[in-house]
Amino acid sequence: MILAVSSLDAWLTFVGTLHPAVLHFPIALGIVAAIVELWGAVRRDPGPSSFALTAVWFAAIVAVVTATSGWFNAEFLNRGLSLNLFLHRWIGIAAAVLLMTLAISGSIIRARPKTSLSGAWRMVLLATAGALGFTGHLGGSMVYGDGYITDALWSAIDQTEKSQREAAANDAKVQLGIAQTPQVATAVSATAVSETALPAAAVLSAGGKAPVDFTKQIVPILTANCYECHGNGKHKGGVHLDDWKWMTTERKGEWAVKPGDPSASLLVTNIELPESDDSAMPPTGNRVSSADIALIREWIVQGASAGNGISPGAVSDNRWSLPERSLTADELARIQAQTPAMAKFGVTVQPLAQGSSNYEANASLAAPPIGDVQVEKLVSLADFLVVLNLANSAISDLVGSIIVQFQSLRVIRLDHTQAGDQVAAQLAGMQKLESINFVSTKLTDAGLASLTKLKSLRRLYIWSSQTTPEGSKQFRLARPDVQLIDGQE
């Protein structure tokens, strides 16, 4: 019986989902076999040992399954062929071939114990183990972001060295009879800003300026300019601007945000670079305004406190705990048809996490910007789209009649568009929508009032919209359960 194309695709997608379940076995078995044989070489034992050869055979068989499932996993998740994926794929395939070669040749060598090839076999096994480890590292970087392991490693080394230096300095002071006089702290510890931050009145009296509110004033700037790559669970380059503690912690001698010192903060440095500079942030789209940069600088000077605010980037408290289900063959076929079709317009469609049945559509980087017609093409995916990013697009205020068809949406971004009161009125009738971004839009107090009817709403960004302080006040009175981020004191 010949399977229909959609059925075949569904089965191949299933094979792809096995990749995370099996990938650890060949890595672990290959590395353990290499360690055993390395010890055998030190002891001058004839090789290969029965244990190492058995481990290599199992590793080789599972490596073939891993490489095959990994190929289909990348294809059906429509991952772009990045350098990491290219290296991960082909080094992994090469390691699988080497493992199978080692298994066969090892069996031959073991059957002929007088052969002189044991040393060469062990050397190839060690090289293969190194390739397996590097392949696993590349896979981890793709899933968790670049520097996921190395950043933590270097941070641990730096902290250990720092502790050792401080301990040595204290011992020297004790031996020299130098007593330490407790002093009143004049700066806030980088790792304890949230617990020791100065109260607003103290900041005002110390610097002569009103305190900058992280939640109301800084988060909207990060949301509009940074979270596309460094927030909402995306950590390009290993940069976590959706993690306040990460931002304000030193790593390898550098700070994303160094409390009290904007000049030593990479966040400030990169957004102030000229657009022609390769390190300028954001790399595409509008530049961060001078007023916003000044506000970030003042926030850092005041100690970069998170105050009592929310964790930046947590646009939906339930984003990573949404219910999962198995997608039908028809649904998978729709996703596979629409993903390349939307990619032609610069719109990416991808699962929230590997193997998830909840999807995100991102049109914020489309060039030229998409309009209402292109948004309507996404309606076939409405059953499983939970995040829709239309920031910087060319949509009109009439797009609301299309958006209401996406009844599974939890998060929508409309910032820097022509969306306004008509869209707001349509969104008020949705059932699951938790977070809306109306930053730099035509939303007025009338549209803000209509959103009080959206019962599922938990967070609303209206920074730089056409709303007024009075409109914000009335909204807060009507919906005290919603966090309104309007940039107002």
Stretch 223-246: mean pLDDT, rounded? 76
Confirm whether 310 is domain-assigned: no
pTM, two decimal places? 0.45
Whichever domain contains 474, its CATH number is: 3.80.10.10
326 and 235 in a single domain? The answer is: no
- In this predicted structure, the answer to whether residue 56 has a pLDDT above a threshold of 50 is yes
Chain segment 153-197, per-residue pLDDT in tens? 766 776 777 777 777 777 766 666 654 444 333 333 333 333 333
270 and 211 in a single domain? The answer is: yes
Contact 193, 304 (CB under 8 A): yes
d(CA 319, CA 358): 10
Supply the mean pLDDT for the chain: 80
pLDDT band at 287 (very low <50, low <70, confident <90, very high): confident
- Residue where one domain finishes, among candidates 273, 301, 329: 301
Lowest average pLDDT, out of 42-46, 215-219, 304-308, goes to: 304-308
In this structure, what are the phi and psi dihedrals at residue 435, rounded to the nearest 5 degrees?
A: -135, 130
Contact 305, 197 (CB under 8 A): yes
d(CA 445, CA 357): 37
Q: How far from each other are the two terminal CA atoms of the chain, in whole angstroms?
A: 69
Residues whose CB is less than 8 angstroms from the CB of residue 303 and which lie 6 or more positions away in sequence, other chains included: 187, 188, 193, 197, 198, 203, 259, 260
- In this predicted structure, the answer to whether residue 202 has a pLDDT above a threshold of 50 is no
Closest CA to 29 of 91, 79, 85, 99: 99
- In this predicted structure, the answer to whether residue 316 has a pLDDT above a threshold of 50 is no
Say if residue 259 is preceded by a cis peptide, omega within 30 of 0: no
The pLDDT, as a whole number, for residue 102 is: 93
Lowest average pLDDT, out of 147-156, 247-256, 335-344, goes to: 147-156
Confirm whether 171 is domain-assigned: no
Confirm whether 181 is domain-assigned: no
329 and 465 in a single domain? The answer is: yes
Chain segment 406-454, per-residue pLDDT in tens? 999 999 999 999 999 999 999 999 989 999 999 999 999 999 999 999 9
Residue that wins the pLDDT comparison between 277 and 266? 266
pLDDT band at 10 (very low <50, low <70, confident <90, very high): confident
Confirm whether 376 is domain-assigned: yes
Both tokens assigned to 14: 């299933």
Closest CA to 394 of 419, 371, 378: 371
Q: Beta strand 459-461 with 435-437: parallel, antiparallel or unpaired?
A: parallel
Per the structure, the complete domain to which residue 353 belongs is given by: 319-485
132 and 249 in a single domain? The answer is: no
Of the ranges 113-127, 167-181, 455-469, the best mean pLDDT one: 455-469
Q: Beta strand 359-362 with 385-389: parallel, antiparallel or unpaired?
A: parallel
Query: Any idea of the CA torsion for 412, 417, 418, 419, to the nearest 10 degrees?
Result: 10
The pLDDT, as a whole number, for residue 389 is: 92
59 and 137 in a single domain? The answer is: yes
How many angstroms separate the Cα of 285 from the Cα of each of 196, 225, 297, 381, 412?
Answer: 37, 9, 22, 27, 19
Q: Beta strand 348-351 with 359-362: parallel, antiparallel or unpaired?
A: antiparallel
Number of domains in the chain: 3
The pLDDT, as a whole number, for residue 198 is: 41
The pLDDT, as a whole number, for residue 260 is: 87
Closest CA to 459 of 475, 441, 443, 440: 475
